[in-house]
Amino acid sequence: MNTKSPRVSVSRHAHFNAAHRLYVKSWSDEQNASQFGACANPKYHGHNYELIVRLTGPVDPVTGYVFDLGRLSDLIKSEVEARLDHRNLNEEVAEFYDCVPSAENISVVIWNWLRPHLPAGLGLHVTLYETPRNFVEYDGAE
């Protein structure tokens, strides 16, 4: 190995199911239906979310690890799955009481939950699939 530590990305794939409804509380039913279509259904609908958490940082010259993926798996379970799996996002997750639980907003909430538990020097990138074809990505950018 040379003296420079190569930066490598390591990822963990996870999964959760959740129900949600996309709507803006202050809008009329017609406005919500027009903006969100079937996703505004007042009776909610569910998704099988696929989550990929990617960490980027230097390879530890001793362990050969960027971050222990077993630890990352445990973190995703305790910080994300325990809060979101089999939940109604609008009604059971405080972050979405006044915030539309779109895939975009869910990815930001997940990033914010994980960030404090990870070393500052590691880049954190969240990819969230709401359907097999629709996914969003967030890396902490503002």
Of 53 and 106, CB closest to Ni ion: 106
39 binds Ni ion (CB under 5 A): yes
18 binds Ni ion (CB under 5 A): no
Instruction: Specify whether the CB–CB gap between 95 and 88 falls below 8 A.
Output: no
Place of tokens 């445990």: 74
Q: How many CA atoms lie within 13 A of 99 on its CB side?
A: 15
The verdict on whether 86 is a catalytic residue reads yes
Task: Provide the minimum distance between the beta carbon of 18 and Ni ion in the complex, in angstroms, as a whole number.
Answer: 9
Among the listed residues 45, 86, 91, 117, the single catalytic one is 86
Site string for Ni ion, 100-139 (x = CB under 5 A): ----------------------------------------
51-74 burial, b for 16+ CB within 10 Å, e for fewer? bebbbbbeeeeeeeebbeeeebee
93 binds Ni ion (CB under 5 A): no
Among the listed residues 39, 47, 79, 125, the single catalytic one is 39
Of 39 and 53, CB closest to Ni ion: 39
Cα separation of the two ends of the chain: 36
